[in-house]
A and B are shown apart, each in its own frame.
Chain A
Amino acid sequence: MNINEETKNINEKSNSEEGEDTGKEMVPPVANSIHRSSSRPQLDLSGAAIQGNFEERDPTILLPNQSDDISHLALDIGGSLIKLVYFSRHEDRLVNDKRKKSMKERFGVINGNRRSFPILGGRLHFVKFETAKINECLDFIHSKQLHRGDNDNAVIKATGGGAYKFADLFKEKLGVSIEKEDEMDCLVAGANFLLKAIRHEAFTHKEGHKEFVQIDHNDLYPYLLVNIGSGVSMIKVDGDGKFQRVSGTNVGGGTYWGLGRLLTKCKSFDELLELSQRGDNSSVDMLVGDIYGGLDYSKIGLSASTIASSFGKAISENKEIEDYRPEDISLSLLRMISYNIGQISYLTALQLGIKRIFFGGFFIRGHAYTMDTISFAIQFWSKGGAQAMFLRHEGFLGALGAFMSYEKHGLDDLMVHQLVERFPMGAPYTGGKIHGPPLGDLNEKISWMEKFVRKGTKITAPVPMASPRTTGLGGFEAPSSKGDTLRSDESNLNVGVLHLVPSLEVFPLLADPKTYEPNTIDLAEPNELQYWFTVLSDHLPDLVDKAVASEGGTDDARRRGDAFARAFSAHLARLMEEPAAYGKLGLANLLELREECLREFNFFDAYSTIKQRENEASLAVLPDLLMELDSMSEETRLLTLIEGVLAANIFDWGSRACVDLYHKGTIIEIYRMSRKKMQRPWRVDNFDAFKERMGFGENKPPRHKRALLFVDNAGADVVLGMLPLARELLRRGTEVVLVANSLPALNDVTAMELPEIVAEAAKHCDILRGAAEAGGLLMDAMISIQDSPREKSSSTPLMVVENGCGSPCIDLRQVSSDLAALAKDADLVILEGMGRSLHTNFNARFVCDALKLAMVKNQRLAEKLIKGNIYDCVCRYEPAS
């Protein structure tokens, strides 16, 4: 979609919404320079240009004719909590950006259909403050300069009761006006956005077990949104901006807290909730068994433990309020109210014929018992026909909705694949509970972590037991402890930072994007989870060493290395406690979390020196290998090339077994030894089918037009394995696109590094040189332009494209738009390496031919996936489906 089309869409949208906006017309318009001819101003997109370098992963669009009054902040000021959603437009600058830029200037990484994105790339942050500590909130806004529009009369959108109450304070302290948005509008807008844009947003919660629900975007409406605030509103939502409050009850969170406070003298809502966890309601509630002398009333399906009358036992003559435990009272109250809300919600949904009921609001707070009780009520009354669903961002519906009430937020147009959620340190805690003021820079963050490790009390997840002086080596304690003290808020849901990456797209060659699941390994199984956690924990000290060394081994690097080890260990421990804390957990998510955690502590390329060394060593022996290959017959060569890819895949720093191997020989020795051992048949061996497709059988099918080669590791893997295979395809007239990571992950080769490698290889190979030139890879003066123009134009191009991710695995629902554009003409996909073809995508089906190549360098995975052993090979060929 080009910019003009987008403008048209925006126009249409504003027209269609005009009717509903009449109320807002009464509000004096915010002072800015735009003449408001229609109810909503439009983005002035004339002269739009990508800001900065074109090749950035999520470029910011510069709109020179648009006055820059886009606000970055919205609030939901409730009675006890202030929820803040803010947008940061710029990616934090990567340290190696300069290098990246100069690389891009030297080598053109292939441009697909360059397009512009009318949505700003950036990040959505979710932060909570206690209303009682509103000054912390004001300070935070001030320090981040979130309130600063370009005009003097800045306006912040806000919802919630406090929007009126604190308006003067905001004016006085920050010089901004609060513009109040209707609460229900905000709730619905927030919920609609979350349900459509976040993959793992909605979940069920039964008997302590959380399960994420896949929401079909085309079948979302109507749904019932039950917002449990002080009171309860039940809203029937029929679409964007289309909703009606159909019911409600005055017995809500305010009742729980109000009655609870009167009855228990608790000082805070959380304290009351906390009490309930140790309560036993049978001392306060009259149970069916109490009336029937311990018997069930089975005729009407009531068990002895069913509550016949909430607080019915409190009528006892000789007991006063002091004689009851506050814990029991709190639990009884919680059950009464949760159950009642569940029941009325179900009856309301039934009346309206609505199937889906989502619960949100401050009352829930990710509290397991509350969710269980509501779920039970729905399940009980519907006889299993309906189920309650909850939202991970439940506390932020209003704030998000207020954010969306800005005329220009662009969030409406975001698709689920354009959002990536990250969980930086601090975010899990601010997202769940509040622990001190939000963190500013990295230094603050590290100090904060060091403080919490020393204190060891307030942090909600167990932290690694490393003493502060170590480098994370050996100080890690396996995160298997499940002590009661650490489980107090096990069900607190963590809310991360939402990265809006408009340039991400769904990989177009997926056969069935709707049912596609990247992860092969489901970590829902406890054993599996435990195993991978141990693997990652064991690998941690080595990784920290590498990372610290990559930053010159300075004191600062050491301190950051420690912090990284602590942070990642805390994540692991948190996930061990509650695997669904960050959404549905697969191995790919876990591996990506580690990479993100490294980047968070400014380790941008822990393996950079290793990668470089291995690239050089491999490039040095490449000419010999190519000569050897060229001496073979075409048919033999194909087998040798596949053997070579599998053999070279042994070079993998992600695998413990291979790290040990490294100490035993040189690269070429290992490579040759490894290739020699490549005895067919492999454990999974569709080579013959692939060979036939390549034209060595009876039929001579047309050659592939374009192949996408998803490469894995730097060094021998890519240089001695994938590059020769690419060369063979090029020789046969198939265009080749090397698909590599956008950001470093372990020793995986990145798209930034590939042009240099190809250029080096091309020095000794005409085929590669011609192809690289044709693909625009060699624009630099270092390759002299002495070749004849004829040769250049006739060569089949070799291209490089970034895949849009920075993980050893790949989720094909979210790839770079460049890759997506190039994929459209491709008819062969080759996935190489464990991360991309086994851990993820092993079961992925494509609309074109696909070849999955990997050596299994993990005994457990070998057993589980292919019923084989470590170092077994997978050559899985699947013709277009």
Chain B
Amino acid sequence: MEGDRIEEATLANSPVDEISHLALDIGGSLIKMVYFSTEKDKPQKDGRFLNGGLYFLKFETSKINECLDFISSKQLRCRGIQHCGFPASDKNIIKATGGGAFKFADLFKEKLDISLDKVEEMSSLVSGANFLLKAVPSEAFTYVNGQRNYVKIDHNDLYPYLLVNIGSGVSMIKVDGDGKYERVSGTSVGGGTFWGLGKLLTKCKSFDDLLEMSHQGNNRVIDMLVGDIYGGMDYLKIGLSSTAIASSFGKAISENKELEEYKPEDVARSLLRMISNNIGQIAYLNALRFGLKKIFFGGFFIRGHAYTMDTISVAVDFWSKGEAKAMFLRHEGFLGAVGAFMNYKLVEEFPNSNSLVGDLTDNGIIECRVHVSS
């Protein structure tokens, strides 16, 4: 199952050559990058189209220099572009979104002489999600009892949907069509909270380690369960089972245990459940409010992490009494970056040709053809 995750390209295995276009989503904790590259052994040009793939890469925002080095090393601005006849005016411009597009604009200018062309964050998320949902078969899936079930998206019945993007914080966007959307809600309890609190509580060094740890933990050690209050019994009167969490971290009150005496795995697990559950609940309430049947969860918090998806799914299922299903996206973390990339208007628009783009290869690269303007 974990193998189903999108494998982001790493610095080592990313195709060295031929990066032509690149877009960034610079968030509070992570930089997400999407770039298009042709492949050496395939015919590159096909009439007005260029064959290649969309590659995905991430950096920690605090290590932005790694990102700058990468861009610099790829000689992005010259080679691919000149070869393929992209207009020269594009050469010093990168499409970027996320708060960091503002914050780090000067840094890019100074270090790389590149201007960041800022693409509005919400519109990036939405166009990224719309593209992925329409272009990539088996992009969306539900997660029930550890089982991924891919959902076939009917392009004619996609809208409206609720897009829940879980980054450092959480944005909830009601999407009514291409370019038609509204941020209806959100919460500050998101990925940044998980990582931030987790780091304080467990001394864990990275987000992924923390997620990994949570997988091995047992939240019952720290959470106060309904059964803890009602002497092991369910509180049937209000439909709460004895294993339902009554109070996250509620047991940390009563016992004379210090932080060091708790296993970091257990702490991570409690934290993950608390945050996932909360997001699931607020998302469901918002979907209900606007009568939305589809809820897609994206953003870097999820990372294809089974337990996270499971908790969110359970929360949505619980609060909706089975009426609503949480759906996830394979490229969850890259919605904004893909959206920014779309802003180049290179990728063939839909639904001109639905065979045009959208094959997902094993390593998560989206094969596609981009439009070459003459």
Asked if residues A231 and B247 are in contact (CB atoms below 8 Å), the reply is yes
A381 touches which one: B185, B207, B253, B277 (CB < 8 A)? B185
Closest-CB distance, A691 to chain B (whole angstroms): 66
Known: A250-B277, A254-B253, A258-B253. A308 touches B248 (CB 8 A): no
Interface residues of A in 559-586 (CB under 8 A from B): none
Q: Do the beta carbons of A254 and B247 come within 8 Å of each other?
A: yes
The number of A-B residue pairs with CB atoms under 8 Å apart is 198
* Inter-chain contacts of A344 with B (CB < 8 A): 281-282, 285
Kindly state the separation between the CA atoms of A305 and B100 in the bound complex, as whole angstroms.
16
Inside 8 A of B246's CB, which chain A residues have their CB? 230-231, 250, 254
Task: Tell me if A292 and B249 are in contact (CB < 8 A).
Answer: no
**Contact present for B281 and A254 (CB under 8 Å):** no
Tell me the residues in window 232-251 of chain B with beta carbons closer than 8 Å to chain A beta carbons: 237-239, 244-251
B193:A311 contact, CB within 8 angstroms: yes
Bitwise, B229-273 to A at CB < 8 A (1) or not (0) is 101000001110000111111111110001100100001000000
Question: Would A262 and B191 count as touching, CB distance under 8 A?
Answer: no
Report the bound CA distance from A599 to B100 in whole Å.
Answer: 68
Question: Contact at A231–B250, with CB atoms within 8 Å?
Answer: yes
Q: Which of B65-73, B154-162, B194-202, B326-334 contacts A (4 or more CB under 8 A)?
A: B194-202
Asked if B304 is at the interface of the complex by the 8 Å CB criterion, the answer is no
Question: Is B102 an interface residue, CB under 8 A from the partner?
Answer: yes
A299 to B262, CA, bound (A): 43
User: Which residues of A have CB within 8 Å of B248?
Assistant: 250-252, 254-255, 258
- Whether A603 is near chain B, meaning CB under 8 Å from some CB there, is no
Residue of B nearest to A290 (CB): B28
Which residues 167-214 of B have a CB within 8 angstroms of A? 167-169, 183, 185, 187-193, 195-197, 199-201, 203, 207
Chain A residue numbers with a CB within 8 Å of B100 are 291
Question: Given contacts A231-B246, A250-B245, A262-B201, is CB(A312)–CB(B252) below 8 Å?
Answer: no
Q: Are A309 and B193 in contact (CB under 8 A)?
A: yes
Indicate if the CB atoms of A259 and B249 lie closer than 8 Å.
yes
- A350 within 8 Å of B (CB atoms): yes
Contacts A230-B247, A351-B289 hold; do A320 and B203 have CB atoms under 8 A apart? Answer: yes
Contact indicator per residue, chain A 311-344, by CB within 8 Å of chain B (1) or not (0):
1111111001100100001000000100110011
Q: In the complex, are the beta carbons of B249 and A312 less than 8 A apart?
A: no
Cross-interface CB contact of B274 among A182, A255, A262, A315, cutoff 8 Å: A255
B164 within 8 A of A: no
Contacts A184-B238, A254-B253 hold; do A263 and B200 have CB atoms under 8 A apart? yes
Chain A residues with Cβ below 8 Å from B29 are 312, 315
Contact between chains at A262 and B193 (CB < 8 Å): no
Tell me whether B6 is interfacial, beta carbon within 8 Å: no
The answer, yes or no, to whether B120 is at the interface (CB within 8 Å) is yes
Q: Which residues 214-236 in B have Cβ within 8 Å of A in the complex?
A: 222-224, 229, 231
B192 lies within 8 A of A308 (CB) = yes
Known contacts A292-B102, A351-B285; decide if A286 and B250 are in contact (CB<8 Å): no
Residues of chain A with a CB closer than 8 A to B252's CB: 257-259, 261-262
B188 x A253 contact (CB < 8 A): no
A285-297 CB contact bits vs B (8 Å, 1 = yes)?
A: 1101011110101
B28→A316 contact, CB < 8 A: no
- A803: interface (CB < 8 Å): no
Contact of B282 with A343 in the complex, beta carbons under 8 Å: yes
State whether the Cβ of B128 lies closer than 8 Å to any Cβ in chain A: no
Question: Using Cβ atoms and an 8 Å threshold, which residues of chain B touch A316?
Answer: 62
Q: Does B278 make an interface contact (CB < 8 A)?
A: yes
From A291, which residue of chain B is reached at the shortest CB distance?
B99
Q: CB distance A285 to B99 under 8 Å? A: no
Residues 343-381 (chain A) with a chain B CB within 8 angstroms: 343-344, 347-348, 350-351, 381
B residues in contact with A299, CB < 8 Å: 120, 122
Number of B residues near A (Cβ < 8 Å) is 65
Contact of B62 among A231, A309, A317, A321 (CB under 8 A): A317
Q: Is the CB of B253 within 8 A of A257?
A: yes
Contact B249 A258 (CB under 8 A): yes
Contact A311 to B196, CB < 8 A, known contacts A249-B278, A253-B247: yes
Residue of B189, B222, B249, B288 near A351 (CB, 8 A) is B288
- Nearest CB in chain B: distance from A582 CB, A: 32
Q: Does A743 contact B (CB under 8 A)?
A: no
Q: What is the distance, in angstroms, from B239's C-beta to the closest C-beta of chain A?
A: 8
CA distance A262 to B239 in the complex (A): 31
Q: How far is the CA of A263 from the CA of B120 in the complex (A)?
A: 37
Q: Does A451 contact B (CB under 8 A)?
A: no
Contacts of A262 in B (CB 8 A): 201, 249, 252, 258-259, 262, 267
Quick one: given A254-B250, A262-B201, A262-B252, are A292 and B192 in contact (CB under 8 Å)? no
Set of chain B residues within 8 Å of A79, measured between Cβ atoms: 253-254
**Residues of A close to B201: CB separation below 8 A:** 262-263, 321
Contact (Cβ within 8 A) A231 B98: no
Select A255's contact among B122, B203, B250, beta carbons within 8 Å. Answer: B250
As a 0/1 sequence over residues 698 to 739 of chain A, the CB contacts with chain B under 8 angstroms (1 = contact) are 000000000000000000000000000000000000000000
Judged by a CB distance under 8 angstroms, whether A824 is at the interface is no
A763 at the binding interface (Cβ < 8 Å): no
Inter-chain contacts of B197 with A (CB < 8 A) = 259, 311, 314
Say yes or no: is B27 at the interface (Cβ < 8 Å to chain A): yes
C-alpha gap A297/B98 in the complex (Å): 11
Q: Is the CB of A339 within 8 A of B103?
A: no
Q: Is A231's CB under 8 angstroms from B278's CB?
A: no
A164 touches B (CB below 8 Å): yes
> How long is the Cα–Cα vector from A161 to B195 in the complex, in angstroms?
33
User: Nearest chain B CB to A26's CB is how many angstroms away?
Assistant: 14
Partner of B103, one of A182, A184, A292: A292
Q: Is A300 an interface residue (CB 8 A)?
A: yes
CB of A11 closer than 8 Å to a CB of B: no
Is B199 a contact of A315 with CB atoms below 8 Å? yes
Residues of A141-169 whose CB lies within 8 A of B: 161, 164
Chain B 97-124 near chain A by CB (<8 Å), digits 1 or 0: 0111011000000000000000011100
Q: A348-B285, A350-B289 are in contact. Are A284 and B224 (CB under 8 A)?
A: no
Q: Does B38 contact A (CB under 8 A)?
A: no
Q: Is B313 an interface residue (CB 8 A)?
A: no
* CB–CB B274/A311 < 8 A: no
Give Cα A265–Cα B258 distance, bound, in whole angstroms.
8
Q: How far is the CA of A292 from the CA of B169 in the complex (A)?
A: 13
Question: Smallest CB–CB gap between B88 and chain A, Å?
Answer: 30
B286 interface hit (Cβ, 8 Å):
yes
* Known contacts A230-B224, A254-B247, A258-B253: A309-B190 contact under CB 8 Å: yes
Partner pick for A254 among B249, B288, B319, CB 8 A cutoff: B249
16 contacts between A and B (CB under 8 A): A231-B245, A255-B247, A258-B252, A258-B253, A262-B258, A263-B201, A286-B192, A291-B28, A291-B100, A297-B99, A300-B122, A307-B169, A307-B188, A311-B193, A315-B207, A336-B189
Chain A to chain B: the 10 pairs with minimum beta-carbon distance, closest first: A291-B99, A312-B192, A254-B250, A309-B192, A254-B247, A258-B252, A314-B196, A258-B249, A311-B196, A293-B103
Given A299-B122, A312-B28, 13 further pairs, Cβ under 8 A: A230-B253, A231-B246, A249-B278, A251-B248, A252-B248, A252-B250, A263-B201, A286-B196, A307-B188, A312-B196, A315-B62, A320-B203, A321-B203
